[in-house]
Amino acid sequence: MDKNDLDRIHIKDLMLRCIIGLNDWEREKKQDVVINIILYADLRTACRSDNIDDTVDYKAIKQKIADMVESSSYMLIERLAQHVADICLENPKVQSVRVMIDKTGALRFARSVGIEIIRDRGCSPF
């Protein structure tokens, strides 16, 4: 099934704190990151059954992501985004994921700096 044919679950504006950045001052205390995720899955069975077992448990995914991010220490938001994508793709119903992470206050005069990655099941970046 092509990604354009899949249904989407949006997790919007998940605000978490972590150690992120290259500079010494960024490594001293947690900073805010805002994460937006789109999970691509075939939700037709869940639409018919109204059964939680037939859909993606986005609450469980969100909790795994929150636990990981809050305890993480990365130099690059790119690596953080990859780890978020990996967690999402652990769920066998998720076929593809789009992860957007904004690091607030990263640049003077800019609200945030962000990156966006797209990962598909079975397509390892390594």
Question: Where in the sequence is the domain holding 62, given as residue range(s)?
Answer: 3-120
Residue 94 lies in a domain: yes
Q: Report the alpha-carbon angle 114-120-123, nearest 5.
A: 110
Residue 126 lies in a domain: no
Residue 20 lies in a domain: yes
Mean pLDDT of 47-53: 95
Residue-level pLDDT at 120 = 96
pLDDT, one tens digit per residue, over 57-108 is 999 999 999 999 999 999 999 999 999 999 999 999 999 999 999 998 777 8
Residue-level pLDDT at 2 = 66
* CATH number of the domain enclosing 59: 3.30.1130.10
CA distance 92 to 79: 22
Residue-level pLDDT at 1 = 64
Residue 29 lies in a domain: yes
Scanning 37-103, the segments in alpha helix (DSSP H) are 44-49, 58-70, 77-89
Number of independent structural domains in the chain: 1
Residue 24 lies in a domain: yes
88 Rama class: left (phi>0) / alpha (psi -120 to 50) / beta: alpha
- Give pTM, 2 decimals: 0.90
Check residues 119 and 111 and name the one with the higher pLDDT. Answer: 119
Residue-level pLDDT at 126 = 44
CA distance 15 to 17: 7
Residue 125 lies in a domain: no
